[in-house]
Chain A
Amino acid sequence: MIDWITVWTVLFVSSVTIFAIMAVVVTIRGARDIKQLLRSIEKGDREDGQDSENKE
């Protein structure tokens, strides 16, 4: 017979631990990605602008 209390206890403790570590990593590296995203969109706009100027 499955010891459900142990199963759920182990699941809860291990998941919370992994998530806590992941939250720290994602918080730090996600902030860097935001800067990169805004830079990339802005760069894309500039290139679009240049393209349309060339076409004209």
Chain B
Amino acid sequence: MAKDSAWRGKRRLPLEWLGILPFAIFAVLFLIMPTMRIVIGAFQTSDGGFTFQNLLDLNTPSIRSSYWTSIKLSLISAGLGCVIGFAMAAAVVFGGLPKGIRSPLMTFSGVASNFAGVPLAFAFIATIGPAGLITMELRDVGINLRAYGFNLLSFWGLVITYLFFQIPLMILIIIPALDGLKREWREAAAVLGATTTQYWRMVALPILFPSLLGTFALLFANAFGAVATAFALTGPQLNIVPIKLFAQIRGDVLGNPNLGFALAFGMILITVLANTIYIVLRVRSERWLK
């Protein structure tokens, strides 16, 4: 009897996989094949032969610097987003603030993390752009931001703008994780004579490590692939990879279609690498937790 049902189960197996066929077709057509097309294109000459030349051609000062700026931008905005978001989340969860703050903060974070792209750039231009609210107010009291070298349409301007969606994303993910820290752990550490710093360094942070790291990887990819905010803020002039790729797709500014594939392939490589590092570290830290 058992044998019979096992045999039937086996024979019916292929039919059950049919249930996710629509999903699989969708994934192949609109996720996997387009990505593979980029990867293959990066290794093809214009007439279809195999080559490494496209990747080697990426090694120009302009493209190198665009990758470097993009990586720096993503690392810094993700890092600051994590630190500030963590500080705000910790303030709400552990800081002894009124309970009523938490729910509005979560709601607002949900809104702000989705308020990205073109309108976000408008908001910052209206605030700290050349004629923005803060710029004008500060000028009235004798502080000329521009004279201090601040320019919204620059690297640091972009970092400040990106933080508007990076910080809320961190808050949304880390508050549940902070809730998961049990009060008993802190008490146990205190009973054994640990200071607050020791508790955080040796108990809380190692436990939070996987979620912190995961959020960092997510924020990194989030900033690395963002086009709209940067484009609306600075137009095509800022030299970061997604803007370069945007211009390349629109009008082949690099003068070589296959170089565009290589540029996009580089982006995939970097986000995949970031996520692989995250997965490896996560597996290691979870093993350690057991």
Q: Do A and B come from one complex?
A: no
